[in-house]
Chains A and B, each alone.
Chain A
Amino acid sequence: MNAIEVKHLSKQYVIAKRQEGMWGAIRSLFHREYITKTAVEDVSFSIEAGEMVGYIGPNGAGKSTTIKMLTGILVPTSGEVRVGGLVPYKERQKNARQIGVVFGQRSQLWWDLPTIESFELLKEVYHISDRRYRRNMDTFTEILKLDEFFQTPVRQLSLGQRMRADIAASLLHDPSILFLDEPTIGLDVVAKERMRTFIQEMNKERGITVILTTHDMSDIEKLCKRMILIDKGRVMYDGGLEKIKEHFGTSRILIVDVEKDISLNIEGVEVIREEGIRKWLRFNREEYTAAQLIQQISEKTEIIDISLQEPEIDSIIRQMYEQGL
Chain B
Amino acid sequence: MAAAESSIDALGQFKLEHALGAVGASVNFTNSNVMMLIAGGLILALLYYGMRPKAIIPGRLQALAEIAYDGIYSMCHEQIGEEGKAYFPFIFTLFFFVMMGNLLGLLPFSFTYTSHIAVTFGLALIVIVVATVVALKIHGWHFFTYFFPEGAPKALAPIIIPVEVISYLSRPISLSIRLCANMVAGHVMFEVFASFIVMMAASSMLGHFGIVAAIGPMALNVMLMGFELLVAFLQAYVFAILTCIYLHDAVHLH
- Do A and B pair up? The answer is no
